[in-house]
Amino acid sequence: MATASHNLSTYDPTSVPSGAGRRFALVVSEWNLEITDALRTGAKETLMKHGVAPEDILETWVPGSFELALGAQILLETETLDGVICLGSVVRGETPHFDFVCQGTAQGIMSVGLKFGRPVIFGVLTDNTMEQARDRSGGKHGNKGVDCAVAVLKMAALKG
């Protein structure tokens, strides 16, 4: 397991560009709310830690992870944004539904970023159990939302 001994929230703050004057959106899935709200908190706090003003962070909720891509696309069509972070949580069940949702979600998020030429960050936990999801959303492996905020700041700076 790639994160077995790795804290997702560990990074060098001096390597992260300032987000001052930039505008970002968080698109968050309502499904598995305990997990996604923790991811949202981690992402938002990290953006603010690196200079993004609270009023420059737009938050939008969508029903599930599959809807994240369309949520990001709608925001990029209607708002002036430097990037979008898509946050969700899909926990494996007993049917192939997990595979379809994860594959479609990943493909959709990537497509939106390429279509708009803006960073659209994949912050969807795809875990086998709720315990694993908790471990990656503020538990023993840190908070993937933090990692996503760092990624969007770096990619926005790369974009210029």
pLDDT tens column, 66-80: 999 999 999 999 999
Give CA separation, 137 vs 9, 15, 34, 159, in Å. Answer: 10, 22, 9, 28
pLDDT at 98: 86
CB neighbour burial string for 55-70, b if at least 16 within 10 angstroms, e if fewer? ebbeeebbebbbbbbe
Q: Any idea how long the chain is? A: 160
Identified catalytic residue from 6, 50, 97, 141: 97
pLDDT at 12: 93
C-beta separation of 123 from 88 below 8 A? yes
pLDDT at 3: 54
pLDDT at 99: 87
Q: Domain 18-44+74-84+116-160 maps to which CATH number in 3.10.350.10, 3.40.50.720, 3.40.50.960, 3.40.50.1240?
A: 3.40.50.960
Query: How do the domains of the chain map onto residue ranges?
Result: 18-44+74-84+116-160
pLDDT at 10: 86
pLDDT at 106: 97
Tokens of 106: 């990943």
Q: What is the pTM of this model?
A: 0.94
Alpha helices in 2-125 (DSSP H): 33-49, 68-78, 97-116
The closest alpha carbon to 64, from 39, 85, 89, belongs to 89
pLDDT at 46: 98
Spans of the chain, pLDDT less than 70:
1-6, 8
Catalytic-residue membership of 97: yes
